[in-house]
Amino acid sequence: MQWGSLSEFVAMGGYGLYVWTSFGVTALCMLWEVLALRRRHAAALAGTNEPIHDR
């Protein structure tokens, strides 16, 4: 364990803003992709999403 306290962990030696923004944006993007795909799959099953222009 590298940290003495929670505030030390959050501060990340003064780099907290950069470290937590990196981890946060990554987590949000992956979560968004999962939720968007779940919606898309439900729509595709229901046949309600945009029709694909197929010949």
Partner 1 sequence: MGLAHINWFKYSSPQAFYPLAGRLTPWCAAAAILLIGVGLYIGLFVAPTDFQQGQSYRIIFVHVPAAWMSMFLYVAMALWAGLGLGLNARPSFMMAQAIAPTGALFTFLALVTGAMWGKPTWGAWWVWDARLTSELILLFLYGGVMLLRTSIDDSRRADRASALFALVGVVNVPIIYFSVRWWNTLHQGASVSMTAAPKMAATMLTAMLVMTLGFWMYSTAVILVRMRCVILERERQSSWGMPQSHRDAVEVH
Residues lying near partner 1 in the complex (CB under 8 A): 1-3, 9, 12-15, 18-19, 21-23, 25-26, 29-30, 33-34, 37-38, 40-41, 44-45, 47, 49, 51-55
Specify the residue for token string 């999403």: 49
Q: Which two tokens stand for residue 27?
A: 């987590």
What backbone torsions phi and psi does residue 51 show, to the nearest 5 degrees? -65, 145
Closest CB to partner 1 among residues 7, 53: 53
Closest CB to partner 1 among residues 5, 53: 53
CB half-sphere exposure, 2, CA atoms < 13 A = 6
Closest CB to partner 1 among residues 5, 54: 54
